[in-house]
Amino acid sequence: MTHQVHIIGGGLAGSEAAWQLAQRGIKVRLSEMRGGGERTAAHQGDALAELVCSNSFRSDDDEKNAVGLLHHEMRRLDSIIMGAAEVGRVPAGSALAVDRDVFSAEVERRLGEHPNVEVVREKIDTLPTEGLTIVATGPLTAASLAESIGKATGAQSLAFFDAIAPIVHYDSIDMSICWMQSRWDKKSGPGSEGKDYINCPMNKEEYYAFHKGLMEGEKTEFKEWEKDTPYFDGCMPIEVMAERGVETLRFGPMKPVGLDDPRTATPEFPQGRWPYAVVQLRQDNKLGTLWNMVGFQTKLKYAAQVELFRTIPGLQNAEFARLGGLHRNTFINSPVLLDRQLRLKGAEHIRFAGQITGCEGYVESSAIGLITGMMAAAELQGRAWRSPPPSSAMGALLSHITGDAEAETYQPMNVNFGLFPPMHDVGKKQRKEAYTNRGKADFGEWLQSMESVPA
């Protein structure tokens, strides 16, 4: 098939960009090196849009949450990622979490069946010198292509470390100690009972012993050239968080608030009391056989992980489907290198999409892939392009990447209301809802206007 756009990278952003182009009648060649004899340090298989860290797309609340608003906007634009997430959805309270295998298989099926998409298992070592191209190779870009990008940009790529949380087999969890409950009994949707998480309780003595074990456990050693590489706050290893203070984890991933331990029930407190600390596990597949340790990204060595995590009440016999890990992520200084349409300055036939642009998170990466696909389609079809309003989640994220951020301190960023134009005339308690209401209205007007944008 003769292609009109070449997409390099079959992750979330590349898959979304391919779908958006194909749905608009554009023929796409999607190059993915996995399956062609190549692997990365973090991927487990060859599937398109493989989720290498958590299985969560975070909050699905589009009334008071920035990432939930981004979900809303992507659904309105026929996102393949959001569509596949619905197919693979598993219980997760107010969050959107998926069976990672079902999700990736659905993305691969839809793209594989599309007449305008050709998926090719091949490694691309250099940036193409001509032809419309979208680079969506993500934070694990192969060294040869990263070197080519470095030469083209004339700037050294930035980098940060990203950590992966362990996954536990359900049948190895002691449910006589643990219990099922979402925080504050939050329901994930129709039919939900507010019991989407497994909770492992800790008393004060157990928590302090666990904290000590984190501090003393054997960690992954960095290579000399990696020692100045920072962590991204949104995926901080749990032991790095623990270094900030002995109580830090109790206000983060081990927060017990809103979780009633039924084993402590009394006539006065029939539902039970909150433990001193809690380790939560979230369902990782539709069968409910695999559960992800929420917030437990780690750089502990494997043996140290097994030894320490089996001290958690309820996980004393835990069997791990996957242990935690650490990998180095790479991204470019987008505010300097890219124009407002995500084109590489000086080589406008090349666009960048996804995490390599410096956005962080599955949803954000997918959203930038989506908008990049729309931009390329508009260019090919001779239509004028107008970016989403900065009051929308997609527009705010795009503005941050393409110029609003400080270039000298540019770091990966999740979508958040701090990226939106401020609303000083709204009280703090109403502000989040006001942001989402404004964003939905402005995004809807933008969608209507795009349908009649002249060439």
Phi, psi of 97 (to 5 degrees): -120, 155
Q: According to the annotation, is 444 in a ligand binding site?
A: no
The gap from C-alpha 405 to its chain's centroid, in whole angstroms, comes to 20
Q: CB-based burial of residue 251 (10 Å sphere; 0-12 exposed, 13-18 middle, 19+ buried)?
A: exposed
Q: According to the annotation, is 25 in a ligand binding site?
A: no
User: Which tokens belong to 364?
Assistant: 């954000």
Contact 74, 367 (CB under 8 A): yes
Q: According to the annotation, is 49 in a ligand binding site?
A: no
How far apart (Å, rounded) are the C-alpha atoms in residues 201 and 255? 10
Q: Are strands 133-135 and 347-352 parallel, antiparallel or unpaired?
A: parallel
Phi, psi of 330 (to 5 degrees): -125, 140
Q: According to the annotation, is 12 in a ligand binding site?
A: yes
Q: Which of 366, 177, 163 is closest to 281 using CA atoms?
A: 177
How far apart (Å, rounded) are the C-alpha atoms in residues 440 and 444? 6
User: Which tokens belong to 356?
Assistant: 């390599």
Known binding site for FAD: residues? Answer: 9-14
Known binding site: residues? Answer: 9-14
